[in-house]
Amino acid sequence: MQDQFQTTYSAGQHLFTKGDDGDCAFIIEKGTVEVYINKKDKKMIIAILSAGDLLGEMAIIDRLPRTASAQALEDTEVLVIPHEYVAQKIECSDATVRFFLKVIMERYRDMHARLMRVFEGINPDESDYQDMYASTKNVVHNLMQQYLNMQDRILTAVNTAAPINDKYDENEDDDVTRTKFSLGIENSLQLALENEEFELHYQPIIDLQTGSIKGCEALIRWLHPERGLLGPFDFIPYAENTGLIIPLGYWITEQACHFQKQLAQHYSSDFFMSINLSSKQFESADLTSNMASIVQNFASSPGQIKFEITESLLMTNPDLAQSALSELKETGVRLAIDDFGTGYSSLSYLHQFPFDTLKIDRSFVSTMLQNKKSNEIVKSLIDLSHNLGMEVVAEGVETTFEADMIKQYRAELAQGYLYSKPITAEAFKKLLQ
């Protein structure tokens, strides 16, 4: 058999029928082909294809029997692509490309199987041809959109940096191992989101004048079925690289807002919730509208929700940050700049953005006793914040000395292990009591 060859099918002739061996794919060069299955002795058309379309492509993935039939509606010329031809090309490709193609084809096979289950479940007696065909087109469109999105995520995963805590297989190419690990993380994160394996822990934020809990920061944890409780540094970078940070971020916001409303109703009406936003989330055009909707539906009021943004976002894309933060501010929420002082251009950008709160990084707070420069930096940052109309939260407070010093410097709020580590929702309620 030649690698590829042309052949012609007359009108009414089958290219293949359901149950035939899947040994090749077809590219239509001229004519029209309908793909169909028989359901209760009635023909159910899956697709009508014409010049330039591909069919029978499952044979490129494996050699399983055909799951549908294909018939020429008119004299049709096709280019036949044997399974062995494609398999040989894949085998000769780069190791990373080969693995990438294997994953894509396996996932496409899974999506095709789901599509066929949809067709099998449709009763032809309850719908006419037009309704069935419209339904089919919608299903195909939705599944193909998922397929394209999946390709984008895998391409990103291929470029993901090597995992910190993973050992490479010495017998395999580093790029392939890295790709496998990244794809494994992506699949695990997606399943974790679907199986509700994530939970939020909450760290109290203390009013330094009264000693009372004024609010808290929501911090995500992953209850991994094998590795136990994981902190954000173990999985958030992969969620960002694969794009899963977008749905995960909405879930975090919804859960945190719901908890804030509970506490506002039963503890204090001005109780606030701080929620971290990733710079990757700002790449979504729908971020502001979606966040505004979640806050409106789940929080006690927008003014009691505070979104925290690291200063790295301000420096990597200041124009995007300024536009997005201004839109968020207009929804009524409050904004905080987190980890302030750890970047290089903070002061030049600070006055441009509508922040309500400045959070002093723990690296300065924890060295106040040993380092006079850190002490002066903390004092200066508090003065600067007040001059710009912002309140101050000192992070990483672990000793009474640190608490006394920042209180003396007129910081309003503090959080850290001196008061509490991040704890579960139930433990936080007990802490309030």
Q: Are residues 100 and 239 in the same domain?
A: no
- Name residue 219's amino acid: L
Supply the pLDDT for residue 112: 62
Contact 90, 84 (CB under 8 A): no
Q: Are residues 138 and 16 in the same domain?
A: no
Give the count of domains, the chain. Answer: 3
Q: Are residues 69 and 120 in the same domain?
A: no
Q: Are residues 239 and 370 in the same domain?
A: yes
188 found inside a domain:
no
User: Among residues 65, 88, 111, which one ends one of the domains?
Assistant: 88
Q: Are residues 349 and 404 in the same domain?
A: yes
Q: Are residues 281 and 420 in the same domain?
A: yes
Supply the pLDDT for residue 190: 80
Contact 127, 135 (CB under 8 A): yes
Determine the Cα–Cα distance for residues 382 and 376; give it in Å rounded to an integer. Answer: 10
Q: Are residues 261 and 359 in the same domain?
A: yes
Q: Are residues 101 and 83 in the same domain?
A: no
190 found inside a domain:
no
Each residue's pLDDT tens digit in the chain (433 positions)? 445 678 999 999 999 999 898 888 899 999 999 998 887 777 888 788 999 888 888 777 777 888 889 999 999 999 998 888 777 777 766 666 666 666 666 666 666 665 665 555 555 554 444 454 444 445 444 544 554 454 455 445 444 433 334 443 444 555 555 555 555 676 788 888 888 899 999 999 999 999 999 999 999 999 988 888 999 988 998 888 878 899 999 999 999 999 999 999 999 999 999 999 988 888 888 889 899 999 999 999 999 999 999 877 777 777 777 888 899 999 999 999 987 766 555 566 677 789 999 999 888 998 888 888 888 989 999 999 999 999 999 999 999 999 999 999 999 999 999 999 999 999 999 999 8
29 found inside a domain:
yes
User: Among residues 180, 205, 224, which one ends one of the domains?
Assistant: 180
Residue 254 CB contacts under 8 Å (≥ 6 apart), including other chains: 294, 298
Dihedral of the alpha carbons of 24, 102, 196, 252, in degrees to the nearest 10: -110
Contact 416, 395 (CB under 8 A): yes
Q: Are residues 63 and 114 in the same domain?
A: no
Q: Are residues 207 and 107 in the same domain?
A: no
User: Among residues 180, 209, 237, which one ends one of the domains?
Assistant: 180
Q: Which domain CATH number covers 11?
A: 2.60.120.10
192 found inside a domain:
no
115 found inside a domain:
yes
Supply the pLDDT for residue 149: 54
340 found inside a domain:
yes
39 found inside a domain:
yes
Q: Are residues 172 and 292 in the same domain?
A: no
67 found inside a domain:
yes
Supply the pLDDT for residue 408: 95
For 358-388, give one letter per residue: b (16+ CB within 10 A) or e.
bbbbbebbbbbeeeeebbebbbebbebbbee
Q: Are residues 338 and 282 in the same domain?
A: yes
How many CB atoms neighbour CB 50 within 10 A? 13
- Name residue 178's amino acid: R
Q: Which domain CATH number covers 344?
A: 3.20.20.450
Domain holding 43, by residue range, is 5-88
